[in-house]
Amino acid sequence: MLRVAICGGSGYAGAELLRILAAHPKVKITVATSEKSAGKRVTDLFPYLHRYENLVYEPLDREKIISRADLFFMALPHAASQVAVDFFVSQGKKVIDLSADYRLREPRIYEEWYKVPHMFPGTLKKAVYGLPELHRKKIAKASLVANPGCYPTGAIIGLTPAIKNGLIKLNSIVIDSKSGASGAGRQSEVSFSYCEVNEGFKAYSVASHRHTPEIEQELSAVAGKGVRVNFTPHLVPMDRGILTTVYAQLAKSMEGKGIHEIYRTAYGKEPFTRVLEMGKFPNVKNVRGTNLCELGVAVNKRTGTLIVIAAIDNLVKGASGQAVHNMNIMMGFDEKEALNAIALFP
Ligand SMILES: NC(=O)c1ccc[n+]([C@@H]2O[C@H](COP(=O)([O-])OP(=O)(O)OC[C@H]3O[C@@H](n4cnc5c(N)ncnc54)[C@H](OP(=O)(O)O)[C@@H]3O)[C@@H](O)[C@H]2O)c1
């Protein structure tokens, strides 16, 4: 049995890790941390996680918990994760960090967007960006995986085949995303509370969202040259799910059918990314509670534009499901272990 610790186990991503891992036959959860709820049982916060009725939250005391787990999931806010990740990695443990702390390769860019310095550039160099569709082989050998952000997951998956195959003009990419409110976490601000979100629909962090450099970093690596994108996130009154619509000008005239085939070939063997039939487009409702990324592909012939629509559940493929997928790859388990069983959310 792999002994697993969940640091930040009282948040939305941490609770989702617990829910998914309850179905994993090769994993035993030995530690779940929370500062505010230390001493409370997991079931006091999340009654539906009755499988964990004997698991009690404890503070994240690195020295105390290090010997009790082989792999550490870090589901803390950015900046709070840096020190503990460095400590666990330096002690030879495997770590999957769900925060943004180890996603951006350049410490300077991290500081520019997150307004805190990166204190561990040496450990940062060891991190592998945990998008299996792009980096499966590196993830398999990694000791530290930086799990992707929720918005970047759908956007990068949606754009990669087009960029790899030279189908689009790189300076024309527009990414329009809509997310449910759980994307902001359980301890989020007033602007994400029920009365603020319900019956509303608004853009936020316009031209300044922190996921922008992450999307650009990965798409630039695919393109082999610098890519800049226009990315606008929106908040919609649902609890989970992200629908991303990507627009880009075609580099040359192409039929939708040909592009659809390129996408189907690119993701044909992927266990969790599914390209829908021509003319069909995804709905967040259909991926809710699952680790799927569903894609719809079309060409607007009148404007010479490629349109790709991606739907994910931000807490699963956009966070904890993808983290478990990464764990399965790192440990040599069946990639679908614990992830096939979770269909619709209860
Ligand atoms: N929500 C999403 O859709 C999503 C998607 C992808 C990635 N992520 C990333 O995953 C991480 C967790 O997100 P979340 O949505 O689960 O947030 P959340 O619901 O606010 O949970 C945060 C967790 O971190 C703990 N925590 C906060 N500050 C801490 C500190 N200084 N030291 C130790 N523990 C601390 C909290 O424990 P207490 O009980 O003590 O408050 C809680 O368990 C974030 O970095 C987020 O950006 C989230």
Q: List, for residues 267-316, the tens digit of each pLDDT value.
A: 999 999 999 999 999 999 999 999 999 999 999 999 999 999 999 999 99
Q: Exposure pattern of 203-229 as b/e (b: 16+ CB <10 Å)?
A: eeeeeebbbbbbbbbbbbbbbeeebeb
Superfamily the domain 2-148+317-331 falls into: NAD(P)-binding Rossmann-like Domain (3.40.50.720)
Best probe residue, ligand 1, of 35, 101, 147, 287 (max atoms within 8 Å of C-beta): 35
Q: Is 186 in the pocket of ligand 1 (CB under 6 A)?
A: yes
Domain 150-314 class in CATH: alpha beta
Determine whether 326 is exposed, middle or buried from the number of CB atoms within 10 Å of its CB (0-12, 13-18, 19+): buried
Average pLDDT over residues 132-160: 98
> What is the pLDDT, as a whole number, of residue 193?
86
What rounded mean pLDDT belongs to the chain? 96
Domain ranges for the chain, please list them. 2-148+317-331, 150-314
177-187: per-residue pLDDT in tens? Answer: 999 999 988 88
**pTM for this predicted structure:** 0.97
Pick the residue with more confidence: 342 or 40? 40
Using a 6 Å cutoff on CB, does residue 146 contact ligand 1?
no
* CA of residue 253 to ligand 1 center, whole Å: 45
Q: How confident is the model at residue 158 (pLDDT cuts 50, 70, 90)?
A: very high
Active site residue 150: yes
- Average pLDDT over every residue of 54-74: 98
Query: In the chain, pLDDT over 70 holds for what percent of residues?
Result: 98
Do the Cβ atoms of 130 and 326 come closer than 8 Å?
A: yes
Mean pLDDT of 133-155: 98
- 243-276 burial: b if 16+ Cβ within 10 Å, else e: bbbbbbbbbeebebeebbebbbebbeebbbbbbb
Q: Is the CB of 77 under 6 A from ligand 1?
A: yes
Given a cut of 90, whether residue 343 has pLDDT beyond it is no
Judge whether residue 344 has pLDDT over 50: no
pLDDT digits (tens, 9 = 90+) for 101-125: 999 999 999 999 999 999 999 999 9
